[in-house]
């Protein structure tokens, strides 16, 4: 009788083993392995911080020169001072001025709100290149400073035009649009603070 129980136990164990093998073969046949790639890259907080850390972002540089002169009337003769000032006015944005929520990703869309375009460097006149075009008489440092300030105001008036500001805005929008496309965004809305 013990022999019959052993044989029955071995047969049950064999049937159980065959059943498990059949189930595993069936499960393996129905299992499918595939590799799927996600083409969209989510914008991480680190990426947002690194974009913001860029600081000043130049979108337009305008090289300019101004001829400025002054005359001082004298009893015997007049004194003349004519100087040429050279400078590069740089227009762009300061990324440290973005407001909270300035970038809002959502799926394959992103909305970016940028600060107003402005002057990046207030010391844009290259004093090393300034030339005295014509000078007679004696001129003080204060006289030269007044001429410098006059050239400064003229350069600002000639460079900070609506056309130049619009051109800088378009360049900035194109640069941001390209950056967002490389990050995988399809629909990009760029707004500017007023």
- DSSP letters along 157-190, please? HHHS-HHHHHHHHHHHHHHHHHHHHHTT-SEEEE
Q: Residue 116 carries which DSSP code?
A: P
- Spatial contact of 113 and 192, defined as CB atoms under 8 Å apart: yes
Q: What pLDDT does residue 8 have?
A: 76
pTM passes above 0.85: no
- 113 CB-near residues (< 8 Å, 6+ apart): 98, 99, 101, 102, 103, 190, 191, 192, 193
Q: What pLDDT does residue 167 have?
A: 96
Q: How far apart are CA 153 and CA 141, in angstroms?
A: 18
Those residues of the chain that have pLDDT short of 50 are none
Q: What pLDDT does residue 44 have?
A: 65
pLDDT digits (tens, 9 = 90+) for 127-171: 888 888 788 888 888 998 999 999 999 999 999 999 999 999 999
Please count the residues of the chain: 194
Cβ atoms within 10 Å of 41's Cβ, excluding its own:
11
Q: Which residue do the tokens 């000078």 mark?
A: 135
Q: What pLDDT does residue 22 have?
A: 75
């Amino acid at each position: 009788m013990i022999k019959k129980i052993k044989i029955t136990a071995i047969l049950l164990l064999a049937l159980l083993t065959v059943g498990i093998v059949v189930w595993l073969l069936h499960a393996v046949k129905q299992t499918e392995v595939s590799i799927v790639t996600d083409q969209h890259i989510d914008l991480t907080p680190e990426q947002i911080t690194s974009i913001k850390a860029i600081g000043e972002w130049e979108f337009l540089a305008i090289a300019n020169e101004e001829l400025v002169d002054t005359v001082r009337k004298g009893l015997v003769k007049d004194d003349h001072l004519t100087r040429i000032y050279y400078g590069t006015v740089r227009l762009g944005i300061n990324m440290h001025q973005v407001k909270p929520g300035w970038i809002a990703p959502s799926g394959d869309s992103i909305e970016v709100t940028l600060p107003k375009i402005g002057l990046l460097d207030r010391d844009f006149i290259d004093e090393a290149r300034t030339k005295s075009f014509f000078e007679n008489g004696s001129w003080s440092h204060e006289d030269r400073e007044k001429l410098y300030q006059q050239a400064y105001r003229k350069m600002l008036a000639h460079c900070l035009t609506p056309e130049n500001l619009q051109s800088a805005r378009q360049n900035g929008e194109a640069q941001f649009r390209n950056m967002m496309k490389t990050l995988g965004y399809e629909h990009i809305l760029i707004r500017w603070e007023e």
